[in-house]
Amino acid sequence: MTRIPGLRARSPVAGLHRRTLRPLGVFAQSVATTAPAGAMASTPLLVIAVAGRGAPWSFAVAAVLVGLVAACIAVFARRMAAAGGLYSFTAKGLGAGGAYACAVAMVVGYGLLVAAAFSGVSWYGGALVARLLPGVGAVGAGVALVVVLAVTVAVCAVRGVRLAGRVMLVIEAASIGLILVVLVALAVTTAPTGVPAGVPAGTGVGAVGVGSVAVGVLPALAAFIGFDSAATLGVEARRPYASVPRAIGATAAVTAVLYLVATLVLLAAPGAAASGVTSPPTGDLSWASVLMDAGIVASFGACALAALNTLVRVLFSLAREGLAPAALGRTHRRHLTPAVAVGVTVPVLAAVVVVGTLAGITPEAVFGGLLSVGTLAFLAAYLLVCVAAPRFLARIGELTRGVVVTAVLASVALAATAVVVVLHAGTGLVVTLAALVVVGAGGWLLLRRLRGPALRAMGVYDETTTADVLAVRAR
């Protein structure tokens, strides 16, 4: 065996269950993080509320944008396998500054997504339990559900991504099936009424304006967040350079189709849309409502598990870089998962939701607040990775015109969306964002002083080791 300079004998992210996860498990991770069932039931109503008849176009525009982002992520995912996902990718294109910003955005985004999934379960699940068992209070039931869910996802996450993948796939398939059945039933029972009387007037129903379509793009985009999460399974996937980019692209495509179908059905069934934006559509079908709520709760449960899988891998990767406490980089002896990171994050995130709910904030408000900040964090991470893609390719000498066009289009659209959101944000959101930026910048200054070399060398990934190379001779 020839020794090749620059090649290590051991991967810097050793300790995870390397190269074992099948393509279906990788796909399940990305699909579950986007929680298509929950998003199908709620997002189309939000988009219809602002875009009216233009809602399908809003979803189409959002889907194209997500496709462009997926292409930029694939540029990296075909060339490197990382536990840190997008931030490890960004490091190879934008260096430490971009990577740090992306890491902060991912930790905030995925952390809030886990918390939002918890609060989604508390909201829909609490209401469902209260409806089925009249004596039980919705708030109490919601809190109890969050605690049960937190323990369950923590155990699944530690047991390993293979088990977690199987659980998520079954749940997601079942809940998407349930919701499709209910939506079709709604369309069949309420469509013949004709005039869409239920949709609020003045929202542009009937006339598809460019402006209303544009306004609908942001909530539509929010339904896709998390589709990139398979990127953090790069170390564990069996053939990461094939399965990870494929999983990300397929997730974007499948969810886009599901959202379009849901939107078209809801537009054709005005009774469903009339039942409001913040509660699931019921029509006259009480059985359908129960089924749909059950599907949504399950979908949020799977989302919590999937987002947690991603969050702990990002923290694990940061710890291995020396930028987070080293304990977070420790893996479970037998299951080979970032168990310490699971143990630290789950109680904190569950506590946020439980305390918020017990303090009297409505579950809707908790859910909405967490998601609106989370969505912006995801947009920031996507923007950074899109900007990084062409620079990375230029650095390794593999730049093509197609990638430049893709990255420029995606970056401009994402930046424009982010600017629009911030300009229209309420005071609470602006203050939260400002606080996050200040904390992030403070962290940067602190790390630069304490861990300067580690910060500059940011971007560890599952490098090729001596074991992977059939060494003939070094040049």
**Which letter does DSSP use for residue 16 in this model?**
B
Cα angle 264, 268, 272 (rounded to 5 degrees) comes to: 100
If the CB atoms of residues 348 and 474 are measured against other proteins, the closer one turns out to be: 474
Structure-token pair, residue 107: 């930790």
Q: Does the protein bind other proteins through residue 67 (CB under 8 A)?
A: yes
Stretch that binds other proteins, among 199-207, 379-387, 402-410, 422-430 (CB under 8 A): 402-410
- State in angstroms the smallest separation of the CB of 233 from other proteins: 15
- Residue numbers 116-135 binding other proteins by CB under 8 A: none
Residue with smaller CB distance to other proteins, 164 or 205: 164
By beta-carbon proximity to other proteins, the closer residue of 416 and 474 is: 474
Whole-number Å distance between alpha carbons of 64 and 219: 14
Query: By C-beta, is 132 or 471 nearer to other proteins?
Result: 471
* Sites for other proteins among residues 316-355 (CB under 8 A): 333-334, 336
What are 21's strand-pairing partners?
A: 237
187 lines the binding site for other proteins (CB under 8 A): no
Kindly report the length of the chain: 475
Return the sign of the alpha-carbon dihedral for residues 374, 385, 80, 3: negative
Continuous segment of H or E residues that includes residue 76 = helix 55-77
Stretch that binds other proteins, among 302-310, 339-347, 351-359, 464-472 (CB under 8 A): 464-472
* Min CB(9)–other proteins separation in Å: 5
* Positions in 229-268 near other proteins (CB under 8 A): 239, 241-242, 245, 249
In the bound complex, what is the minimum distance in angstroms from residue 468's beta carbon to other proteins?
5
CA distance 390 to 399: 6
Q: Is the CB of 81 or the CB of 185 nearer to other proteins?
A: 81
Nearest distance from C-beta of residue 62 to other proteins, angstroms? 16
By CB under 8 A, the residues from 430 to 459 that bind other proteins are none
Per-residue CA distances from 340 to 22, 26, 234, 285, 395 (Å) = 25, 22, 20, 45, 36
Closest approach, Cβ 393 to other proteins, in A, equals: 9
- State the nearest-atom distance from the C-beta of 407 to other proteins, in Å: 11
Choice between 242 and 351, CB closer to other proteins: 242
Is residue 71 involved in binding other proteins (CB under 8 A)?
yes
Give the residue, chosen from 78, 131, 166, 391, that forms a contact with other proteins under the rule CB under 8 A. Answer: 78
Query: Residue 236 or 293: which CB sits closer to other proteins?
Result: 236
Among 21, 49, 82, 92, binds other proteins (CB under 8 A): 92
* Residue 457 Cβ vs other proteins, minimum distance, rounded to whole Å: 12
Rounded-to-integer distance, Cα 377 and Cα 372, Å: 9
| Residue found by looking up tokens 């020794």 in the block | 3
* Residue nearer to other proteins on the CB measure, 23 or 111: 23
How far is CA 385 from each of CA 29, 99, 139, 183, 228, rounded to the nearest angstrom? 20, 9, 40, 36, 11
Query: How many CB atoms within 10 Å of residue 419?
Result: 10
Q: What angle do CA 436, 381, 423 make, to 5 degrees?
A: 60
Residue 17 or 451 with smaller CB distance to other proteins: 17
Q: Which of 107, 297, 403, 421 is close enough to bind other proteins by CB under 8 A?
A: 403
Identified binder of other proteins from the candidate list 188, 348, 438, 469, rule CB under 8 A? 469
CA 24, CA 16: separation in Å to the nearest integer?
A: 19
From candidates 177, 200, 400, 412, binder to other proteins by CB under 8 A: 400
In the set 90, 122, 406, 411, which binds other proteins (CB under 8 A)? 406
> Is the separation of the CB atoms in 153 and 345 below 8 Å?
no
The answer to whether 17 contacts other proteins (rule: CB under 8 A) is yes
Angle at 141 between CA 135 and CA 143, to 5 degrees: 155
Query: Quick check: 218 binds other proteins (CB under 8 A)?
Result: no
Question: How many Å separate Cα 257 from the centre of its chain?
Answer: 17
Q: Which one of the spans 63-71, 191-199, 226-234, 307-315 is the region binding other proteins (CB under 8 A)?
A: 63-71
| CA-derived radius of gyration, the chain | 22
CB 227 within 8 Å of CB 252: yes
Tokens 């969306």: give the residue: 417
Q: Minimum distance between the CB of residue 259 and other proteins, rounded to whole angstroms?
A: 19
Q: C-beta of 469: minimal distance to other proteins in Å?
A: 5
Contacting residues for 30 by C-beta, under 8 A, at least 6 apart: 226, 227, 228, 229, 230, 247, 248, 250, 251, 306
Question: Does residue 22 belong to the site contacting other proteins (CB under 8 A)?
Answer: no
Residue 16 within binding range of other proteins, rule CB under 8 A:
yes
Q: What is the rounded CA–CA span in Å between residue 430 and residue 436?
A: 10
Distance CA(304)–CA(469), nearest Å, equals 38
- What's at 281, amino acid-wise? P
Contacts with other proteins by CB under 8 A lie at 1, 3-4, 6-11, 14-18, 20, 67-68, 70-71, 74-75, 78-80, 92, 239, 241-242, 245, 249, 333-334, 336, 392, 395-398, 400-403, 406, 463-464, 466-475
